[in-house]
Structure formats: C-alpha cells, structure tokens
C-alpha cells in the first residue's frame, strides 16, 4: 500500500505520514502486553510491547489478514521516556513480527491504561486488498 509523502517533506523513520489503501477493513482493539490467557509475563516496557505486537498479529491472522495489511497503529504509552529507551528492542521486534512496511503511526503518552500493569496499548487498522 503506497505511503503518502508530501513534496519536500523528509521521509519519516519507521512510519509513514499517510497510507492509501482500498479493500476489506479490519480494526484491532487496543492490545496490551499480556498473553492469550490475559496474564502479564513481565513489567518491562519492551517485553510488553513485543507481546502486544504478537497479539495484534494473532488477531490479524484470525481475521484473514497479515502484518503486510496494516495501515495504522496507535500506541498509548504510560511513560514517554520508557518508550523512547525501549525503541531499539521494540524496533527489532517490530521488524521481526510486523516487517518493513509503511504504516501510519501515532504514539501518545497517557496517565494510565485500564489494565493496571499495562505500560503500552496498541490499536491497529488493517486493509486487505480486494481481488
């Protein structure tokens, strides 16, 4: 799916400013860093982010989609500094689980998430092209 880059703008690192897509839409609710039984294995930010990404991949697969179909991710984090410090580990896991795709992304620091142990929650939107 083609990324949108206005003329003269520098290419962003790790995300796209916009994405054009056409097809069947799949909306993934906010995924936190717990497993399929809703248990947190870690309080580490990077570990929770990786698990949240795994959860997104699982929902995509259950919905007949793949990481290549992602067009938007919204990250809610409870600590901006913890998020920034974890970026190298999260980036590596992102490339392994999601790939090298142009995805429109937003990250927002929030006061808290509904699950007390959660440090990150990620919403996703995927578009599966029509045949």
Instruction: Evaluate if residue 1 carries a pLDDT over 70.
Output: no
The H-assigned helical ranges of 3-109 are 45-62, 80-97
Question: Rounded mean pLDDT of the chain?
Answer: 95
What is the percent of the chain with per-residue pLDDT over 70, rounded to a whole number? 99
Whether the model clears a pTM of 0.85, i.e. scores above it, the answer is: yes
Q: How confident is the model at residue 40 (pLDDT cuts 50, 70, 90)?
A: very high
Q: How many CA atoms lie within 13 A of 94 on its CB side?
A: 19
Domain residue ranges in the chain: 29-126
pLDDT digit string, tens, across residues 56-109: 999 999 999 999 999 999 999 999 999 999 999 999 999 999 998 789 999 999
Beta carbons of 130 and 23 less than 8 angstroms apart: yes
Q: Spell out the CATH class of 29-126.
A: alpha beta
């Amino acid at each position: 799916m083609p990324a949108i880059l206005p003329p003269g703008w520098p290419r962003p690192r790790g995300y796209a400013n916009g994405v054009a897509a056409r097809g069947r839409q799949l909306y993934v609710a906010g995924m936190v860093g717990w497993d399929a039984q809703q248990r947190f294995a870690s309080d580490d930010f990077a570990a929770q982010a990786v698990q949240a990404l795994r959860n997104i991949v699982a929902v995509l697969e259950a919905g007949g989609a793949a990481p290549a179909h992602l067009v938007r991710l919204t990250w809610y984090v409870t600590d901006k500094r913890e998020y920034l410090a974890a970026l190298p580990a999260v980036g590596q896991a992102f490339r392994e689980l999601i790939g090298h795709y142009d995805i429109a992304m937003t990250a927002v620091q929030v006061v808290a998430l509904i699950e007390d142990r959660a440090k990150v929650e990620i919403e996703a939107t995927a578009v599966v092209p029509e045949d």
